[in-house]
Structure 1
Amino acid sequence: MDSILELLPYFMLTLIRLLSFFLIAPLFSMKGIPNQFKIGFAVFTALIVVTNAPGEQPILLDGTYMLLILKEIAVGLALGFTAALMLYTVQVAGAFIDFQMGFAIANVIDPQTGAQVPIIGQFKYMLALLFLLVVDGHHLLLDGVMQSFRTFPVELLSLSVESEDIAHFITLLFLEMFMIALQMALPIVGALFLIDVALGILAKTVPQLNIFVIGFPLKIFAGFILLLVSMPIFFYLLQLLFEKIIISMSQLIRLLGGT
């Protein structure tokens, strides 16, 4: 009984990190998943962590325990934000495509966040989530957060990293997100831009032709055809994106743990 009570503070800190991660991480943060399931799954995972990798020193319920709780919330949110940010690349790429196709004014409600998102962006994001489940990406996300308990233990209070290093890491993450989004959207956006150029030349050569009546349906039709043709490239880029998510989480963990 005494050993169980000694592990209770460690278990609570582990549970807080996992709940913070599930609060914002892809798939786990979806509103369609009941909160009871999220809490139960976090408790079950925390039990696995505590029984396999308990802390080297017992954690006391003293004045520093509240600081440890705040630290665990920050670490869990940081890991979940890193994974979610890279996956939102798909929505950014879809926003580029929507703007070029003429769908920028039409938005749909994202069931995960409740915010308005572009149509093509949400379509690609749903495909990315399904593909993430197919390739067991949710297992990789769990493995990433489990690795954090070994690299950055819950009993460690002080961060061995400067705020400038974290800001530099987040800045590079944003840059990589937009670069990957541009790579995903560039084939379709480039092709639609060439259609715009062709329509502009046609408007100059045949002034009697109403380009606005012809241009919008033509660009929408061509956009859907290009989406269908570029699906293999999209899923190939998704594989690279998932690898980048795991690498980014590992880099953040090593950065916080000072290794």
Structure 2
Amino acid sequence: MELLLDTLMQTLASYLWPLFRVASMLMVMVVFGAATTPMRVRLLLAMAITFAIAPVLPPVENADLFSLGAMFITAQQIIIGSAMGFVTQMLIQTFVLTGQIIGMQTSLGFASMVDPGSGQQTPVIGNFFLLL
């Protein structure tokens, strides 16, 4: 009985911690982290990605899921996933900033529209450059 519980906890940990990383990454990512994406879609996508990648990940260390060490591992996974999502935010904002600079340099910065993603006014050239 003790061996069954250990195996169950090991299997649960091998799926739960990647789920935390993938779900926190999707929470912060550009397209999936927007308010227009329903939370159920993000959760189902995170679970599908986790079930796809969990078998190829290396085995996790033996840690009780209800201990202080497991809480630290969970926090670590959430921080890593959030950082991965933040990198995608930075990549997309690089294109927005480049488009704004090009719009200002070519005197087309006066033509602006409301960006649906951020809700702020941005030059049309910036949005066009982002789409490209």
Give the CA deviation at 1:39.
0.8
Residue matched to 1:50: 54
Q: In 2, Cα distance between the equivalents of 1:115 and 1:85? A: 17
What SS class does the counterpart of residue 88 from structure 1 fall into? helix
Contact residue 29 and residue 112 of structure 1 kept, 8 A = no
What SS class does the counterpart of residue 32 from structure 1 fall into? coil
Give the CA deviation at 1:105.
4.8
Q: Which amino acid aligns with 1:18?
A: V
1:11 pairs, out of 15, 20, 23, with: 15
Q: In 2, Cα distance between the equivalents of 1:77 and 1:38? A: 14
Question: Is the alpha carbon distance of 1:44 and 1:96 closer, same or farther for their aligned partners in structure 2, counting shifts above 3 Å?
Answer: same
1:74 pairs, out of 60, 68, 79, with: 79
Q: Which amino acid aligns with 1:19?
A: A
Matched, 1:35 2:4: no
Residue ranges of structure 1 left out of the alignment (5+ in a row): 128-259
Structure number with the higher helix fraction is 1
Q: In 1, Cα distance between the equivalents of 2:28 and 2:80? A: 12
Q: In 1, Cα distance between the equivalents of 2:8 and 2:119? A: 41
- Number of aligned residue pairs: 127
Contact residue 32 and residue 111 of structure 1 kept, 8 A = no
What SS class does the counterpart of residue 55 from structure 1 fall into? coil
Q: Which amino acid aligns with 1:58?
A: N
Larger radius of gyration: 1
Q: In 1, Cα distance between the equivalents of 2:36 and 2:94? A: 22
Alpha carbon RMSD of aligned pairs, Å?
2.4
1:20 pairs, out of 24, 27, 46, with: 24
Q: In 2, Cα distance between the equivalents of 1:108 and 1:60? A: 53
Question: Is the alpha carbon distance of 1:66 and 1:56 closer, same or farther for their aligned partners in structure 2, counting shifts above 3 Å?
Answer: closer
TM-score (norm. length: structure 2): 0.77
